[in-house]
Structure 1
Amino acid sequence: MIQFENVGLRYGMGPEVLRDMSFDIPKHSFQFLTGPSGAGKTTLLRLMLMALTPTRGLIRLFDRDIAVIPHRELPMLRRRVGIVFQDFRLLDHMTTYENVALPLRVRGKEEVSYRNDVIELLKWVGLGERLHVRPPVLSGGEKQRAAIARALIDQPEVLLADEPTGNVDPPMARRILSLFVELNRLGTAVVIATHDIALMDRYDARRMILTDGRLEIHE
């Protein structure tokens, strides 16, 4: 699904913040991306999403070299990737329901085909009573859960999640992770960036450890 070959990234004329990145994210795989704060986990996820361009090396997404993909085709490729950002990126003028349904609306789907699925997913993440509330009224944990529901609603081929349990309590964190596991069982490749060792220890999954701009993989 995603392949990196000798990828490096620097900002301007500064030193490389990521270097010699060579790894792949296979179909149906589940992995954690971890490392100390400031190690570059979010930056690496942004490279996977094609939100950043590497300074050197090769990145393939769905077997296509991102360096030569026509710009007009990038949005369609990104729709195959679900992303949970740390800053949520919910639209304040839309309700919780409308935010979660947005990826389906963008794809041109009729509401009658997805309404029940959106409601059911929001109930599952504990937001069944917050369907018609707008983001400014939601707590940080509620915004996190809404952002997760939005990333999952279209069953992406790859899910990238940046600290998805950082603003929720431990029981909800476990519930969210079980949802990711179920999505993975249905065929989605999952990459979860987290520093929560106790949470990772609950799952038998590959760990990608980022330290000082380099990646070490523990199968």
Structure 2
Amino acid sequence: MVRFDNVGLRYGMGPEVLKDLTFSIAPRSFQFLTGPSGAGKTTLLRLILLSLKPTRGLISIFGTDVSQIAGDSLTTARRRMGVVFQDFRLLDHLTTYENVALPLRVQGKEEASYRAEVVELLRWVGLGERMHVLPPVLSGGEKQRAAIARALIVRPELLLADEPTGNVDPNLGRRLLRLFIELNRLGTSVIIATHDFGLMDQVDARRLVLAEGRLHIYD
């Protein structure tokens, strides 16, 4: 599903921030991406999302070299992924319900075909009473949950989650983790970037550890 071969990344003429990354993400797999602040976790996720290009090395996503992905092919590849960003990226003029349903609307689906599923997911993440309010009214934790619901509603082949439990209490964090685990059981490959060792200790999963720009893998 994802393959990196000797990938390096630098900004401008500066030193490499990621060095000699070689690893693969198998279909239906579950892994945590961790490491100290500034190690490059978000940068690595952006490479997988195709919003950054490597300085050197080869990356393939869904079996295609990223250097060959552009235009409509880029859009198609990204639609196969679900992404939870740290800054949420909700649209302030749309309600919580409309934000979560937006990926389905973009795909051209009729509301009647997905309304019940969106409502059920919002209730599951604790936003059943907040589905008709606008994002500026939501707390940081509520925005986080809305962003997670939006990423999951399309049942992606690959889920990238950047600190998805960073703004919620531990109990809700465990509940969201169970949601990620269930999505994985249904066939989605999951990559969760986190500093939370308590969260990681709840799952017997592969760990990708970034330190000083290099990746160490613990299966």
Could you say whether these structures have the same fold, taking a TM-score greater than 0.5 normalized by the shorter chain as the test? yes
- Which AA in structure 2 matches 1:123? R
Q: Note the C-alpha offset of 1:160.
A: 0.2
Give distance in 2, aligned partners of 1:117 and 1:197.
Answer: 32
Residue aligning to 2:194: 194
- Which AA in structure 2 matches 1:52? L
Residue aligning to 1:66: 66
Residue aligning to 1:140: 140
1:5 aligns with 2:20: no
| Higher mean C-alpha displacement, 208-217 vs 67-76 | 67-76
Q: Note the C-alpha offset of 1:49.
A: 0.4
Q: Note the C-alpha offset of 1:69.
A: 1.8
1:40 aligns with 2:40: yes
What are the within-5 Å matches in structure 2 for residues 9-158 of structure 1? 9-158=9-158
State the secondary structure of the residue aligned to 1:59.
strand
Q: Note the C-alpha offset of 1:96.
A: 0.1
Q: Note the C-alpha offset of 1:72.
A: 2.6
Q: Which runs of 5+ in 1 are unaligned?
A: none
Cα deviation per residue 1:129-156 (whole Å; 9 max; x = unaligned)? Answer: 0010000000000000000000000100
- TM-score normalised over the length of structure 2: 0.99
Q: Note the C-alpha offset of 1:68.
A: 1.3
Cα deviation per residue 1:51-87 (whole Å; 9 max; x = unaligned)? Answer: 1010001110000001012323101110000000000
Q: Which runs of 5+ in 2 are unaligned?
A: none
| Higher mean C-alpha displacement, 119-128 vs 65-74 | 65-74
Cα deviation per residue 1:92-151 (whole Å; 9 max; x = unaligned)? Answer: 000000000000000000000000000000000000000100000000000000000000
Residue aligning to 2:184: 184
- Which AA in structure 1 matches 2:102? L
State the secondary structure of the residue aligned to 1:102.
helix
State the secondary structure of the residue aligned to 1:57.
strand
State the secondary structure of the residue aligned to 2:121.
helix
Give distance in 2, aligned partners of 1:36 and 1:70.
Answer: 33
- Which AA in structure 1 matches 2:143? K
- Which AA in structure 1 matches 2:139? S
State the secondary structure of the residue aligned to 2:20.
strand
State the secondary structure of the residue aligned to 2:8.
strand
Give distance in 2, aligned partners of 1:24 and 1:86.
Answer: 24
Q: Which stretches of structure 1, 4 residues or longer, exceed 2 Å deviation after superposition? A: none
Give distance in 1, aligned partners of 2:197 and 2:69.
Answer: 37
Number of matched residues?
219
Give distance in 1, aligned partners of 2:13 and 2:54.
Answer: 14
- Which AA in structure 2 matches 1:49? L
Give distance in 1, aligned partners of 2:169 and 2:96.
Answer: 20
Give distance in 2, aligned partners of 1:131 and 1:68.
Answer: 40
Residue aligning to 2:172: 172
The sequence identity of aligned pairs, in percent, is: 72
State the secondary structure of the residue aligned to 2:57.
strand
- Which AA in structure 2 matches 1:183? L
Residue aligning to 1:207: 207
